[in-house]
Structure 1
Amino acid sequence: MAFFTSEYECKLDAKGRLVLPARIKASLPETSGGELVVRRGFEPCLVVYPFTEYKKIYSKIASLNEFNEEYRKLQRNFFRGNTQVELDNNGRFLIPKTMLRYASLDKDVIVVGMGNRIEIWNPETYEEYLIQDQSEFSKLAEKYLTE
C-alpha cells in the first residue's frame, strides 16, 4: 500500500512535466511499475494515484449499476479525462494541457501527500482550501478522530 505525506514546493518544466519529489517517488508501490493515473480533483487540483491504488477505486465505480442514472453521472464525471502516465527515467511525468488548465497550474506547484494519493495544486489556490483558524481544525480533528 502506498503511503504519501508532506507538502513539497515543485516546479513544472516548460513542457508541463513534473519531477516527483524523491520521498514521494520512494513511496510508490513497486507493483505500480512507475505507472500513475492523473484525474481532476473534486476541488481545483489534480489527484495522482499509483496504478495499484487507482484500480481499487476504479473497481468500485465501474461496478455500479449502469442502468441507474445517478450512478452513470458519477461514472461519467469521475472517469472523464483520467489519464494514465508513466514516470520516465528522471522520475518525471507529463501533465496533459487540459488538466494544467483545470487546476490553473503554471510553473510553481504544491505537491501534497494524502495517504494513498497525491494532490497537485496551484500554490495560491491551495492556500484558499486550507483551514486558517486553528480552533476549526481542532474541532474537526475532535469530531472525526475521537469517535
Structure 2
Amino acid sequence: MFRSQYDCKLDPKGRLVLPAKIKAAIPEANGTTLMLRMAEDRCLALYPMVEYKKLENKIKALSIHNPEQRLLQRSFFNSVVDVELDSTGRLLIPKVYQAYAGLEKEVVVVGNGGRIEFWSQENYSKNIIVDPADLSGLMEKHLI
C-alpha cells in the first residue's frame, strides 16, 4: 500500500529517485521492473508488476469486437511503458511522459493505494482536496 506525499526532483537526464518509504513498499518479488502509465488528470501512474497485472487483465478481457472497448484497449496499451529501478532507487521517466504530465525539475510523488503518482506541483494542487472539512464531507457522502 502506497501513501503520503513527497517533494522530489528530476535530474537533468529525467531520472527520479523514489522516496525510501515508497521504494520500501514495493514488493520484493516485483524485481526492478515497474510499469509507468500516462494517467488521469495529467499525472503519471507507476505500478508494481502485481498491481499492473490486475489492471492489464481487466483491459485484456474487454471485447476487441466492441469499438469503444477496442479504443480503450488500444489507448491504454499505447500509454504504458516499462521502467527499470536501478540500485540507487532511480528510474528514468521518458521525455514524452514528462511532457504529458508537465514535469520539470520539481515533482510531487504521491502514494495512492496500489500505485504511485507523479505530478507537477501546479497540476497536483488543482487535483487535491486541501480543506479537511471538505474531505470529511466527501468521505461521508461516499463511504457512509
Query: TM-score, normalized by length of structure 1?
Result: 0.93
Tell me what 1:7 maps to: 5
Shift of 1:136: 3.0
CA contact (8 A) 1:31 1:52 kept: no
Tell me what 2:105 maps to: 107
Shift of 1:39: 0.4
SS at match of 1:43: helix
CA contact (8 A) 1:28 1:34 kept: no
Structure 2 distance, partners of 1:67, 1:144, is 34
Shift of 1:42: 1.2
SS at match of 1:105: coil
Structure 1 distance, partners of 2:141, 2:96, is 37
Write the deviation string for residues 20-57 of structure 1: whole angstroms up to 9, x where unpaired.
00000000011211210000011111000001110110
Tell me what 2:33 maps to: 35
Structure 1 distance, partners of 2:96, 2:29, is 28
Tell me what 2:88 maps to: 90
Task: Write out aligned runs for 1:42-57 (5 A).
Answer: 42-57=40-55
Shift of 1:135: 3.6
Report percent identity of matched pairs.
Answer: 51
Tell me what 1:69 maps to: 67
SS at match of 1:59: helix
Query: TM-score, normalized by length of structure 2?
Result: 0.95
Give unpaired runs (5+ residues) of structure 2: none
Count the aligned residue pairs: 144
- Comparing 87-96 with 130-139, greater Cα deviation is found at 130-139
Tell me what 1:117 maps to: 115
